Structure 1
Amino acid sequence: MDYSKTASGVLSGVGGEENVTSLVHCMTRLRFVLKDESKADAAALKAVPGVVTVAQAGGQYQVVIGNEVPEVFAAIGKISRFGGSSAAAEPADEGPKGNLFNRFIKMISGVFTPVLWALAGTGLLKAFLSAAVTFGWIDATTSTYVVLNSLSDAFINFLPLALAITAARYFKASEFTSFAIGAALLYPAATALVGAEGLTFFGIPFTMVNYVSSVIPIIIVVWLQSHAERFLYAKLPAAVRRFLTPMIIVLVAVPLVFVVIGPISSVLSGWVGAAIGWVFATVPWLGGAIMGGLWQVFVIFGLHWGLVPLFQLELQTTGRMLLIAPVFAAVLAQAAAVAGVWVRARDKNLKSLAAPATLSGFLAGITEPAIYGINLPLKRPFAFGIVGGAIGGAIISLGGVFSTAFVVPSGLAVTALLGNGNMVFLGIGLLAAIVIPFLLVVLVGFKEPSAQAPAPESTDLQVLSPVDGTVVPLSETPDAAFADGSLGQGVAIRPRSGALYAPFDATIVAAFPTGHAIGLRHADGAEVLIHIGIDTVKLGGEHFALKVTSGQQVAAGDLLVEFDREAITAAGYDLTTPVVVTNPDLYPTIGSPASGPIAHGEPLFVAVAVEQVVAAS
């Protein structure tokens, strides 16, 4: 299930966030209280992937999801003020978590991820165009070149506008107010002031810096904007805050960038660019070895996002990217290592995985299939890739090779490096990055995973009665989602006592805090839901005493829940208790259902495994 897609569809189907008064969830369903139930579209909701059915009862509009309702509830919390991580309607924003470094990496990832592929795609086009000019295929004085150069350069030149939008989404600020700030930084009349002397703003002297292709100023100012918007919305009268808030923010934020943030970030960016230049000028082999050897390690831990802004800072301040050149060696080395696995492996499944991973790594620079699927689990190929990347990266950087366009390092994108630095060193470095790990993998080898025994087939499961009572067909349950079998096949029991027992040896996979429902899983894979009564979640745990916790192992006959049958009935709740199998992919039907009076521990029904169903048919 795509939880975000399901959450969006559900929220739209109930009439949008503005039609929701509150939202809670129980074991299987989202329980909305709507301002106007007529605005909900039952047909549209049932068509949403992941939605089983809908029901209206007890003043609630219920959307039945099944076992994955907590994940959908959490996904709704990401797109609205309802939902979240608990069964209560509350704001979804739980604030930043983790240490400062982790939060920084998460922020950079959130801001850059949406623009990365467009940035890389136009950068690759720029690389091809540069190669075409180098080899004399296109004349740089023609209008054709001007058009191609414009469409390959435009995105990176106006990068602050793109980052204004993504940063606004990350920091939950107004996107178009952020866009207005970014547009002011790139406004032609403002950029014309770059390098001018004697500039003042109401008597405050400032230096206009170049914001073309910049990254740091817009991210900082949008972060400040997000806090300012929340403050102004809380303080300004409702009648005027929608237009006064963006007016005040733009009026304050843009001069703040011009006078303070921009100049400071420009100085810091200059220092960073100079430091990178110093390393690659003084000990270039070391910088190349670190980037070439450890880049894929950075990727595994998500630390590479901290370096992505440095690529752009280096390009903005120096007009070239020395940092990115040895990354080509890192990427191609892992691709070469998985190519070695492709050649050396005896296992057909391993070969079939290695083949597309090799092509993906070499051509597109997408090494995740190679790393996570093959090299890292096999250990040696990943280590050999690090060795090849470090050696190749060191050689490339010794040649002073650089790129003038942001690209995703790959075989296709090598054109971004052509003509930039010593091409002999580039060729030797790339060759070393490819040949060394390939030969090490082929000659030294690796330990292939032993063939795993096939998973045991599911077998039929005898489900015992969890409660004393009277067995009735599931269709007699006064709840449509259970009655029509949408939540699984099974039976219902009308209890005559107040104790619920384990119907088989199991793991408790869901013990709802209110005690009204229990989910269990047998070792063979059968999953069973027991729901004590209808709509009893609204009692909030009153009259229920839960005796187990999620993850606990129980034996058949162990006490799971005690409940006050008389008090629940007196409160107006129907105690009909469905007992259903919730994973029909493995257990599509039941057999030998009991009927009439039954005591706990007596056979209730048999959950029939899919293999048996197929055999019978």
Structure 2
Amino acid sequence: MADYAKTAAGVLAGVGGEENVQSLVHCATRLRFVLKDDAKADAQKLRATPGVITTAQAGGQYQVVIGNDVPEVYAAIGAISKIGAGAGGAGDGAEAPKGNLFNRFISMISAIFTPVLWALAGTGLLKAFLAAAVTFGWIDTTTSTYVVLNSLSDAFINFLPLALAFTAARYFKASEFTSFAIAAALLYPAATALVGVEGLTFFGIPFTMANYVSSVIPIIIVVWLQSHAERFLYATLPAAVRRFVTPMIIVLLAVPLVFVVIGPLSALVSGWIAGGIGFVFTTVPWLGGALMGGLWQVFVIFGLHWGLVPLFTVEYQTTGQILLVAPVFAAVLAQAGAVAGVWVRTRNKTRRSLAAPATLSGFLAGITEPAIYGINLPLKRPFAFGIVGGVIGGAIMAAGGVFATAFVVPSALAIPALIGNGSTALMIVGLIAAIVIPFLLVVIVGFKEQAEDAPVAPATAETDLAVRSPLDGTVVALSETPDAAFADGSLGDGVAILPRSGALYAPFDATVAALFPTGHAIGLRSKDGAEVLIHIGIDTVRLKGEHFQVKVASGQEVSAGDLLIEFDLDAIAAAGYDLTTPVVVTNGDLYPEITDAASGPIAHGDALFVARAIESAAASVR
């Protein structure tokens, strides 16, 4: 089980300590900090923290990319500090975000929508599957079974204002249950029955009842106003009555204000937005699809995609469909296709081992951060090819009028949300194009493997590499490793060591070319291009960083004898893991022969083996 507390402590230290944190929220894969002083954050220390993928700065936030475990790390930060305790991602007690108006808007949207995202996506996915079942005739809409399934899949987005009332209240520091009371009044059956009724008045003031089901804008605006009104009333009213009089006054004023002013105005603005989207996707649909498909992942990198999330819900509330989502499927699957190409193309075994889970995460869950930050973006070309696939796939799907009927996180599993909506043929062609084009471009055109996080080999190698022992322990033959991939040399030739102490040292002067977030393995590259992988124990990746403490960062230059990783020998053994540690040369095409291998007891720094370069190995054969 991963040590989330250790990751949380490392992240807090890396951002300058708890005292430097102004607010914290999290999204699907990132911790989003607003720091008092960005200069106090140490990006290198953060990236070296087990469990951290990378860092980024955008939208007025300092972002720490964690991946799928971000909710657990966020909770662990709340447990060891006073930051975000109980916020569920909404930023309890957060100060107003700093920066320009646009950055503050992005930060606000992120904080308000993040806590509801997974529930919204999960019920949306269920609705997508139900819609597909109806399209294929697998379920009858007149049955009670359908009514139940439709209710549980449709209820959350229908009553979305109730959820946003809570998250907005947390963000604006308003009373949550007063906000809930306001949202409940907007959705009260007797009030919703007035939608479309003419001649409505409130104390003689005429108004038109807007539809607040699935709405976003009205509740956020009114909770913002509520927060200011509450502060004024609490400061003005006598202490004996303000606890119950304040909510009474707020509800009495806020709800009519929404019905008479905010609701009609927001409905007008929502209509304009939805109409504008509809105009683009009707007049030049391929252009709208190309822009969304090409730019979405760029927006994700800078955190700007949160500015588009409200547009999805506004479009859904106004039209019952989401045209903007279909091209996002192309954008997401295109990056997954690109990293799949890297998986196939790369000769680097370490990179291939990273590309495999990143591919599955992108395709099945729509989580592309591991692919983008770990592989595609550092290699540059795969990311660019992914954008090309997103542009082409998005244009094709938009040209076919493809849209979603539910709010979903775009992924292969969520494709049922698109079935039967627009041209099915062009949907299929667009999705295939989005995946296949970047995949083929990566496989055929290739990429330069000179990224900081990846080993790189020269075309030829002429200098042998003397590898010293990275551990205190006992040397055994690689064939004795209880892992078939290491034992048969599939991952490279070398030896294995049974460690007797929990410290791993650099076996030669090198660059840290690949550093696993879990700390269980490290890849080193010599100045002449020799690539050596050291894997501490067998299957220890399943410990997810527990009992490992990394002392270096990816891309760092190290000297022979420098401490690289510390690990708890006894704890790992007690957890049932074999500690046999393979030390293998992974680019055997350039270093095809291992000679002078040691055996028996050995201390770190002692001669372990010599990796013979291709020229000297060939000479020995001659």
TM-score relative to the length of structure 2? 0.60
Superposed, 1:198-237 pairs within 5 Å as 198-237=199-238
Q: What residue is the counterpart of 1:352 in the other structure?
A: 353
Q: Does the 8 A contact of 1:165 with 1:179 survive in 2? A: yes
Partner Cα separation in structure 2 for residue 245 and residue 199 of structure 1: 28
CA distance in 2 between counterparts of 1:203 and 1:455 reads 89
The one-character-per-residue Cα deviations of 1:359-410 (angstroms, maximum 9, x if unpaired) are: 1111111111111111011100000000010001000000001111111111
* Residue 148 of structure 2 is aligned to residue 147 of structure 1: yes
Note the alpha carbon deviations across 1:150-191, whole angstroms, 9 max, x for none.
000000000000000011111111110010000000000000
The residue that corresponds to 2:108 in the other structure is 107
2:82 to 71, 76, 84: 76
Query: Is residue 124 of structure 2 the alignment partner of residue 123 of structure 1?
Result: yes
**Pairwise CA distance, 1:295:** 0.5
Aligned CA distance change for structure 1 residues 3 and 192 (closer, same or farther; 3 Å): farther
Q: Is contact 2:470–2:605 with CA below 8 Å preserved after alignment?
A: no
Q: Is the 8 A contact 2:141 2:147 kept in 1?
A: yes
8 A Cα contact 2:390 2:434, kept in partner: yes
Distance change (3 Å), C-alpha of 1:153 and 1:92:
closer
> Distance between the aligned counterparts of 2:269 and 2:180, measured in 1?
24
Partner residue, 2:317: 316
Counterparts of 2:404 and 2:248, CA distance in 1: 40
CA distance in 2, matches of 1:241, 1:456: 72
Classify the secondary structure of the residue corresponding to 2:405.
Answer: coil
Structure 1: 5+ residue stretches without partners: 12-70, 81-90, 459-582, 588-610
1:75/1:95 CA distance change after superposition, 3 Å: farther
Matched position secondary structure for 2:82: helix
The yes-or-no answer on 1:182 pairing with 2:188 is no
CA deviation after TM superposition for structure 1 residue 241, in Å: 0.8
Task: Show the 5 A alignment for 1:367-386.
Answer: 367-386=368-387
Instruction: Return closer, same or farther for 1:213/1:455 CA change in 2, 3 Å cut-off.
Output: farther
Quick one: distance in 2 between partners of 1:92 and 1:298? 28
Q: Tell me: CA distance 1:433–1:346, structure 2 relative to 1, closer, same or farther (3 Å).
A: same
CA distance in 2, matches of 1:447, 1:5: 31
Verify the 8 A CA contact 2:327 2:398 in the aligned structure 1: yes
Separation in 1, partners of 2:270, 2:304: 20
Change (3 A) 1:146 1:329: same
Note if contact 2:94-2:171 (Cα within 8 Å) is conserved in structure 1.
Answer: no
Letter in 1 for 2:159: F
Give SS of 1:76's match: coil
Question: Contact 1:119 / 1:156 at 8 angstroms: preserved in 2?
Answer: yes
Give the letter for the 1:222 counterpart: V
Question: What whole-Å deviation, never above 9, does each CA across 1:116-164 have from its counterpart, x for those lacking one?
Answer: 0100000000000011011111111100000000000000000000000
Corresponding residue for residue 583 of structure 2 = none
Identity among equivalent positions (%) equals 76
Deviations 1:521-559 (A, max 9, x none): xxxxxxxxxxxxxxxxxxxxxxxxxxxxxxxxxxxxxxx
Q: Distance in 2 between matches of 1:159 and 1:93?
A: 23
Aligned to 2:255: 254
The residue that corresponds to 2:344 in the other structure is: 343
1:351 and 1:237 map into 2 onto residues whose CA distance is 67
AA in 1 matched with 2:200: L
Distance 1:584 1:151 in 2: 49
Amino acid across the alignment from 2:342: V
Distance 1:380 1:4, change over 3 A: closer
Residues 515-594 of structure 1 aligned to structure 2 (within 5 Å): none
Give RMSD over aligned pairs: 3.2
Provide the C-alpha distance between the structure 2 equivalents of 1:127 and 1:72, rounded to a whole number of angstroms. Answer: 35
Deviation digits for residues 329-380 of structure 1 (CA, Å, limit 9, x no counterpart): 0011000000000000101110000001111111111111111111011100
What aligned pairs does 1:601-616 form with structure 2 within 5 A after superposition? none
Q: Distance between the aligned counterparts of 1:146 and 1:266, measured in 2?
A: 29
Give how far 1:427 is off: 1.1
| CA distance 1:208–1:72, shift in 2 (3 Å) | closer
Structure 2 distance, partners of 1:388, 1:401, is 17
**Larger gyration radius, structure 1 or structure 2:** 1
Shift of 1:76: 2.5
For 1:411 and 1:92, locate their aligned partners in 2 and report how far apart those are by CA, in whole Å: 38
Pick the aligned partner of 1:451 from 440, 455, 459: 455
Q: Distance in 2 between matches of 1:288 and 1:584?
A: 47
Amino acid at match of 1:380: R
CA distance in 1, matches of 2:154, 2:94: 37
Distance 1:93 1:356, change over 3 A: closer
Aligned-residue offset at 1:612: 8.9
Q: CA deviation at 1:451?
A: 2.5
Distance change (3 Å), C-alpha of 1:614 and 1:253: farther
The question of 1:172 aligning with 2:173 is answered yes
Secondary structure in 2 matching 1:446: coil
Q: Relative to structure 1, is the Cα distance of residues 585 and 254 closer, same or farther in structure 2, using a 3 angstrom cutoff?
A: same
Distance 2:79 2:184 in 1: 37
1: CA distance between counterparts of 2:144 and 2:94? Answer: 51
1:96 Cα deviation from its structure 2 partner: 3.2
Deviations 1:412-443 (A, max 9, x none): 11111100001111111111101110000000
Relative to structure 1, is the Cα distance of residues 429 and 173 closer, same or farther in structure 2, using a 3 angstrom cutoff? same
Residues 46-88 of structure 1: per-residue CA shift (max 9 Å, x gap): xxxxxxxxxxxxxxxxxxxxxxxxx9999436559xxxxxxxx
User: SS in structure 1 opposite 2:140?
Assistant: coil
Query: Is 1:326 matched up with 2:327?
Result: yes
**Could you list the per-position Cα deviations for residues 297-329 of structure 1 after superposition, in whole angstroms to 9, with x for gaps in the alignment?**
010011100101101111111111111111110
Partner AA of 1:318 in structure 2: T
Q: Which amino acid aligns with 2:337?
A: A
Q: 1:311 to 1:448 in 2, by over 3 A?
A: same
Quickly say closer, same or farther: Cα 1:75–1:226, change in 2 above 3 A.
farther
Query: C-alpha separation between the residues in 2 aligned to 1:440 and 1:162?
Result: 43
- The structure-2 alpha-carbon separation of the partners of 1:206 and 1:358, relative to structure 1 and needing over 3 Å to count, comes to same
* Alignment partners' CA distance in 1, 2:180 and 2:10: 26
Residue number in structure 2 paired with 1:296:
297
In structure 1, the residue corresponding to 2:199 is in which secondary structure?
coil
Instruction: Describe the SS at the equivalent of 1:209.
Output: coil
Deviation at 1:456, TM superposition (A): 12
Aligned 8 A contact 2:79 2:85 in 1: no
Contact persistence 2:469–2:605 (CA under 8 A): no
Structure 1 residues 4-30: Cα deviation after superposition (integer angstroms, max 9, x where no partner):
9999xxx9xxxxxxxxxxxxxxxxxxx
CA distance in 2, matches of 1:255, 1:339: 55
Give distance in 2, aligned partners of 1:334 and 1:93.
34
Structure 1: which 4+ aligned runs deviate by more than 3 Å?
A: 3-7, 71-75, 77-80, 91-96, 452-458, 583-587, 611-615
C-alpha contact 2:468 2:604 (8 A) present in aligned 1: no
| Deviation readout 1:248-302 (Å, 9 max, x if unpaired) | 1111110010000000000000000000000001110100000011100010011
1:413 counterpart letter in structure 2: A
TM-score norm. by structure 1 comes to 0.61
- Work out whether residues 4 and 72 of structure 1, in 8 Å CA contact, stay in contact via their aligned partners in 2: no
